[in-house]
A and B are shown apart, each in its own frame.
Chain A
Amino acid sequence: MTASATAHPEGPSAFPQAAALSFREATKVYDPAAEPAVDRLSLEVPAGEICVLVGPSGSGKTTAMRLVNRMIELTSGDILLDGVSVREREPAELRRHIGYAIQQIGLFPHRTVAENIATVPRLLGWPEDRIRARVEELLAIIDLDPEEMRHRYPAQLSGGQRQRVGVARAIAADPPLLLMDEPFGAIDPITRERLQNEFLRLQREIRKTVVFVTHDIDEAIKMGDRIAVLRAGGVLAQYAPPEQLLLAPADDFVADFVGADRGLKRLALERVRDVRLWHAPAVRAGAPAAAARDELERAEVGYALLVDDAGRPRGWLAPADLGGDAVPAGPGSPVLLIDRADTVRDALSRLLQEEVAYGVVVDDDGVLDGVLSIELIEDFLRAEGRRAAEAPVR
């Protein structure tokens, strides 16, 4: 993702530039007698990046987020949006230019899906036809059939659909900044996973600057370009990209919060394509079996992969299957296909789930790329452990 001051994304509509966000000693004190909710928080969020605020309850992460759109007023310090202090802007006007999505979603029950999405464009006085076009576009983006969904009320949607509409509503007026407070928190794990992936895909297109609040470190690692770990009293414990957070936690609190299984968590950041995969001999039906047998002996995998003319894997062939003159037409034993773009963690969980030793990695066209094994992942983890042990603790 671009880390320049402004990002020019390519998207379905003319997205305005994302804004750089800067916390400058931002402080919120509710009760002068007690400790602050947010204590001199300073951090920079480059335009177009997702900054995740994560921490246990009482760490002031939601308060910090709400300071940005002045749902909560700063006690001292400042927050700059593209270099301009939020204090200098009228709250309602400011908020119309900052997307806002919360865990409870807060769709208006008396408004249809289309009307809900159109809320901010209406407030900004867009012409009706532009609003209508934008609503259609957004419904398509969040993968809801406009014909069917436009006139529904929130009560007629599933939890996942509601959440998508909430996100669509938040980005409806192309705000340069998006605030998200545990947006996927109240959803079942399977739907959450899908919504997270959808949002990441969407973000690749729209490149908003995003402040994302969560208490879930796994979600933070998955979603964040940078993660700000907050501790009780609203003190920033560490602000770093996820890899760095996992490799080199700043102190015991962060290490604890990130968890003992942070090596495993690293797997969620690694893509299968980044792993040096094993080579499996690919054989085509009707080819000479002798050549295949030779190749099999030199390979890291004890089986051959039967592929079709386009190179797409069809089945595993054991050495015994190659006993004849020509490679048989199959069917071979079933293969577990893994996408190159999957995370290593997802790939591992599928290997364990299917109880197989090898997964066949394919590219976007389904063409054979290599073989991933549990053994390879074990090697990767061991290397991680060594790197983590050698990394200086800051």
Chain B
Amino acid sequence: MTAILAQAEGFFRDRGTGDGSCVERNGFCPSWIADNLDRYVGRPLLEHVELVVVSVTAGFAIAFALALLARRRRWLAAPIGQVTAVLYTIPSIAAFFLLLPFTGRGFLTAVIALTAYTLVILFRNIMTGLDNVPAEARDAGLGMGLTPRQLLWRVELPLAVPEIMAGLRIATTTTVGLATLAFFAGAGGLGETIYADLRFKSNVVMAGGVAVLLAVLADALLLGIQRLSTPWTRAVAR
């Protein structure tokens, strides 16, 4: 056990300069934070954002394609749901290392695991959103001469937006959290900063805080997009 701890200590980084006594007491040191802000909002944050954006985008593209496929071949919906659910169950740390023999250390490995993680939420929500489109709107659309493709893009997908955006929000906040583990796959991110000095309060609070803030901001951004893109959901009977 002590060997393991010593091992972890070995990763500790230079805490740099600043309010020496505060750092030595391992307190919460605003002036040290101010001096070392780039440890948080610099490269690690960018890496983190990149991981999240690429993974969620890829996950959405795959889940979307799978949902369209499952709507055309109804029997595929259940197996796709089950497979994505199993992918979701595999802990991401384990997934990183299980992928290592195939894709090596780095961004790609992290993105594959994080993407796999988003699929179940996105697939389910896209399916639910499309399934919840009122049957009469679909019937009226076809009856007026929309082709199935026009119906999908002009009627079904717009009406599924609230459900799809809800899925995107959950997937995004989850991925922001999981991306803190991406450094295990050698992909950096805010997790690496936390891990670098696990016992230093200022470091943990700042790096963790930036990650939480990122999740909250991403969520708010997506919520904003959802509200702007679905004005009808706020239209109430007068």
Tell me, yes or no, whether A107 is within 8 Å of chain B by CB: yes
**A-chain residues with CB within 8 Å of residue B150 when the two chains form the complex:** 123
Tell me, yes or no, whether A312 is within 8 Å of chain B by CB: no
Binds B, one of A20-28, A95-103, A371-379: A95-103
Tell me, yes or no, whether A153 is within 8 Å of chain B by CB: yes
Tell me, yes or no, whether B34 is within 8 Å of chain A by CB: no
Most chain-B CB neighbours within 10 Å: which of A71, A96, A119, A152?
A119
Inter-chain contact B143/A96, CB cutoff 8 Å: no
Q: How far is the CA of A91 from the CA of B135 in the complex (A)?
A: 19
Inter-chain contact B159/A110, CB cutoff 8 Å: yes
Picked from B137, B143, B231, B236, the residue with its CB within 8 Å of the CB of A107 is B137
Inter-chain contact B136/A106, CB cutoff 8 Å: yes
Q: How large is the interface on B (under 10, 10 to 19, 20 to 34, 35 or more residues)?
A: 20 to 34
Question: Given the interface contacts A110-B230, A156-B238, does A96 sit within 8 Å of B144 by beta carbon?
Answer: yes
Inter-chain contact B146/A102, CB cutoff 8 Å: no
Question: Given the interface contacts A92-B145, A108-B155, does A155 sit within 8 Å of B136 by beta carbon?
Answer: no
**B-chain residues with CB within 8 Å of residue A123 when the two chains form the complex:** 144-146, 150
Inter-chain contact A109/B137, CB cutoff 8 Å: yes
**B-chain residues with CB within 8 Å of residue A109 when the two chains form the complex:** 134, 137, 159, 232
Q: How far is the CA of A169 from the CA of B136 in the complex (A)?
A: 14
Tell me, yes or no, whether A193 is within 8 Å of chain B by CB: no
Q: How far is the CA of A26 from the CA of B235 in the complex (A)?
A: 44
Tell me, yes or no, whether B147 is within 8 Å of chain A by CB: yes
Question: Given the interface contacts A106-B137, A123-B150, does A155 sit within 8 Å of B237 by beta carbon?
Answer: yes
Contact with A along B199-238 (1 / 0, CB 8 A): 0000000000000000000000000000000111001111
Q: How far is the CA of A385 from the CA of B150 in the complex (A)?
A: 56
Q: Which residue of A lies closest to B148 (CB)?
A: A92
Within 8 A of A (CB), among B138-164: 138-147, 150, 155, 158-159
Picked from A95, A111, A156, the residue with its CB within 8 Å of the CB of B144 is A95
Inter-chain contact B232/A120, CB cutoff 8 Å: no
Q: Which residue of B lies closest to A170 (CB)?
A: B144
Q: Which residue of A lies closest to B151 (CB)?
A: A92
Inter-chain contact B147/A92, CB cutoff 8 Å: yes
**A-chain residues with CB within 8 Å of residue B134 when the two chains form the complex:** 104, 106, 109
Q: How far is the CA of A92 from the CA of B146 in the complex (A)?
A: 6
Inter-chain contact B230/A100, CB cutoff 8 Å: no
Inter-chain contact B236/A102, CB cutoff 8 Å: no
Inter-chain contact A93/B145, CB cutoff 8 Å: yes
Question: Given the interface contacts A123-B150, A153-B235, A155-B235, does A110 sit within 8 Å of B145 by beta carbon?
Answer: no
Contact with B along A156-180 (1 / 0, CB 8 A): 1100000000100110000000010
Tell me, yes or no, whether A267 is within 8 Å of chain B by CB: no
Tell me, yes or no, whether A381 is within 8 Å of chain B by CB: no
Inter-chain contact B235/A152, CB cutoff 8 Å: yes
Inter-chain contact B144/A119, CB cutoff 8 Å: yes
Q: Which residue of A lies closest to B231 (CB)?
A: A153
Inter-chain contact B143/A102, CB cutoff 8 Å: yes
B234 nearest CB across to chain A (Å): 9
Contact with B along A174-189 (1 / 0, CB 8 A): 0000010000000000
**A-chain residues with CB within 8 Å of residue B136 when the two chains form the complex:** 102, 104-106
Within 8 A of B (CB), among A69-88: 69, 71
**B-chain residues with CB within 8 Å of residue A156 when the two chains form the complex:** 235-238
B137 nearest CB across to chain A (Å): 5
A40 nearest CB across to chain B (Å): 25
Tell me, yes or no, whether A94 is within 8 Å of chain B by CB: yes
Q: How far is the CA of A282 from the CA of B140 in the complex (A)?
A: 56
**B-chain residues with CB within 8 Å of residue A97 when the two chains form the complex:** 145
Q: How far is the CA of A188 from the CA of B135 in the complex (A)?
A: 22
Q: Which residue of B lies closest to A97 (CB)?
A: B145
Q: Which residue of A lies closest to B159 (CB)?
A: A110
Picked from A94, A111, A152, A153, the residue with its CB within 8 Å of the CB of B145 is A94
**B-chain residues with CB within 8 Å of residue A102 when the two chains form the complex:** 136, 139-140, 143
Within 8 A of A (CB), among B165-220: none
Inter-chain contact A105/B140, CB cutoff 8 Å: yes
Picked from A100, A108, A157, the residue with its CB within 8 Å of the CB of B143 is A100
Contact with A along B37-49 (1 / 0, CB 8 A): 0000000000000
Spell out B's residues near A (CB within 8 Å).
134-147, 150, 155, 158-159, 230-232, 235-238
Spell out A's residues near B (CB within 8 Å).
69, 71, 91-97, 100, 102, 104-111, 119-120, 123, 152-153, 155-157, 166, 169-170, 179
**Interface CB pairs A-B, < 8 A, 25:** A71-B139, A71-B143, A92-B146, A95-B143, A100-B140, A102-B140, A104-B135, A105-B136, A106-B134, A106-B139, A107-B137, A108-B137, A108-B140, A110-B158, A110-B159, A110-B230, A110-B232, A119-B144, A120-B144, A120-B145, A123-B144, A152-B235, A155-B236, A156-B238, A170-B144
Given contacts A106-B141, A110-B230, list 10 more A-B pairs with CB under 8 A: A71-B142, A94-B145, A95-B142, A96-B145, A97-B145, A104-B136, A106-B139, A108-B137, A120-B145, A123-B146
